[in-house]
Copies of this chain bind each other. A is one copy, B any other.
Amino acid sequence: MSGFNKVVTSYDEALEGLSDNMTVIVGGFGLCGIPEGLIGKMKSLGVTGLTCVSNNAGVDGFGLGLLLEDKQIKKMIASYVGENALFEQQLLSGELEVELTPQGTLAEKMRAGGAGIPAFFTPAGYGTPVADGKEAREFDGKMHILESSIVGDFALVKAWKSDTMGNLVFRKTARNFNPMAATAGKVTVVEVEEIVAAGELDPNEIHTPGIYVNRVIKGSFEKRIEQLTLKK
């Protein structure tokens, strides 16, 4: 077996090394493009004290909402939460801490984490509560704040296809936070719909090169729709 074969066949292998109090970056936007099986496995592993970094926190009974049921999440870093009664309860009771981050800043923090950029200036959040305690500076007549990057102990990613070497292709808007998440994990685990042989993906059309990926597992997905909206 080649040193570049990233395929694992069990969720136990996929999440080997994941333990309490770790920081876990999770791809997805709402319920779109989330690594469903890996989240389920986090739940069954029972790891607690997690800091989860993800744009949203799922809904009751699906997505990261599953981890709230057993109070596995200590802190959530997200741009938009509260699609979720359990989340609200735990937040109000003080069992859960939330760090709200502008969506673009959150995306850029992950990208920077993967790209060796420890901090960057952004205009988003200047003059708002998000700027509290952060350095502000003017560039070109406009105020910006300094934001720092995020790296996860694990990054859990959902992709459409992977080859055995971990080269990834995403599908439509299920791409969202997944490519940045993939770069920002000390261990990056990817759950995909389809695994193909190395060489099957066009090198010109790979969204995430395999260098960022440690493990790939073929999952099966419910792909629950959060807001089914049809043409009238």
Contact = CB atoms under 8 A, between A and B. Distances in A.
Copy tally for this chain in the complex stands at 2
B116 A123 contact: yes
Interface in A166-206: 169-172, 203-205
Interface residues of A, number: 23
A120 interface: yes
Contacts of A48: none
A172 B202 CA distance: 10
Contacts of A80: none
A117 interface: yes
B123 A139 contact: no
20 contacts: A108-B115, A112-B120, A116-B122, A116-B123, A117-B120, A117-B122, A118-B121, A118-B140, A118-B142, A119-B120, A119-B121, A119-B139, A119-B144, A120-B120, A120-B121, A139-B148, A169-B204, A170-B204, A172-B203, A172-B204
